[in-house]
Homo-oligomer: A and B are copies of this chain.
Amino acid sequence: MQTAITDLFQIRWPIIQAGMVWVSGGKLAAAAANAGGLGLVGGASMDADLFRHHLRLAKSLITGDGVFGVNIPIFFKHAPDLLEVALAESVRIFFMSGGSPTMYTPRLKEAGCTVVHVLAAAKHARKAQDAGCDAVVAEGFEAGGHNSPDETTTLVLIPQVVDAVRIPVIAAGGIADGRGMAAAFALGAAGVQVGTRFAATVESSAHVHFKQAIVDAGEGDTRLVMKKLMPVRLKRNAFAERVMAAEAAGATKDDLSALLGRGRAKLGIHDGDLAEGEIEIGQIAGMIRDVPTVSEVMQRMVAEYQTAKHQLP
């Protein structure tokens, strides 16, 4: 399976393990790298010291030709520090999300890095290309966690992004098996970024309750909420239901901010409070039924992809 993305990152499979808050530490990134994909250490829940620890952990666990990088949300207060830590630790693959591609791309390109921006619209993909990015992740409405107010689904988004730019496109949102992967490639993507499926693996840092919440999720069990604040897809639980009720009653941005409070992602994902925490998972959780190793996920996806491809009429 050779694509523009396997070439760009020098990886075996065009599968990227998404950076996920409280989920993707050095252990998960190393497992994805060792399984032939691209592992990402997600910086969103870390300060500089913790981030350095996880980068070193990833390096220590990676064997052979395993490749890893980082995901840094631009809006995050520690973003400038995390970026410098990663550069100092010789990381050369940067996935940047939640901000303008003009902000850090020049600095990273000067340092010889490969830069990928995460976005949810073709017009933003053009901006990323113009800013010098090497690839983009186009993420659809069905994805877990923070998301775009545009609500464009992966099926609709990918071909439009592919038509808008010359750089390779990585599809994200709603992909957890080889069928979804084949669908993404049919739409013109050169790689897939997979979140929720890797969150429910042995090597994920998430709490065991959170992994079980993914396994237990059925169809229709997630909702995009907090649309007036910062849209986020959550599993429906006591907290999410309160948010949905407040939104239905016309809650303002301030009301939502007060409801959210602080630390709910940590509460749900790291501490395993399935009632009051934010359970950031994608719609595709409805299809996930177990907690295997990362290597097992990767092998299944590649095998299922081949089957899906060869069954096409």
Contacts and interface: CB of A to CB of B under 8 A. Distances in A.
A71 B72 CA distance: 49
A91 B9 CA distance: 56
Contact of A152 (B123, B175, B184, B283): B283
Interface in A214-258: 219-220, 223-224, 228, 248-251
A1 B190 CA distance: 25
Shortest beta-carbon contacts, A-B, top 7? A250-B250, A182-B186, A183-B183, A150-B220, A155-B174, A153-B153, A183-B186
Interface of A: 1-3, 14, 121-123, 140-142, 150-157, 159-160, 163, 173-175, 177, 179-180, 182-188, 190, 219-220, 223-224, 228, 248-251, 282-284, 286-287, 308-309, 312-313
Nearest to A224: B151
A123 B248 contact: no
Contacts of A219: 121-123, 150, 152, 156-157, 160
Contacts of A156: 142, 174, 219, 282-284, 286-287
Contacts of A250: 248-251
A183 B177 CA distance: 13
A312 B313 contact: no
7 contacts: A156-B174, A156-B282, A159-B179, A163-B287, A179-B186, A182-B186, A190-B313
B152 A180 contact: no
Given A121-B220, A155-B183, 14 more contacts: A1-B313, A141-B153, A150-B220, A151-B223, A152-B286, A156-B174, A160-B286, A180-B187, A183-B184, A185-B186, A186-B186, A249-B250, A250-B251, A309-B312
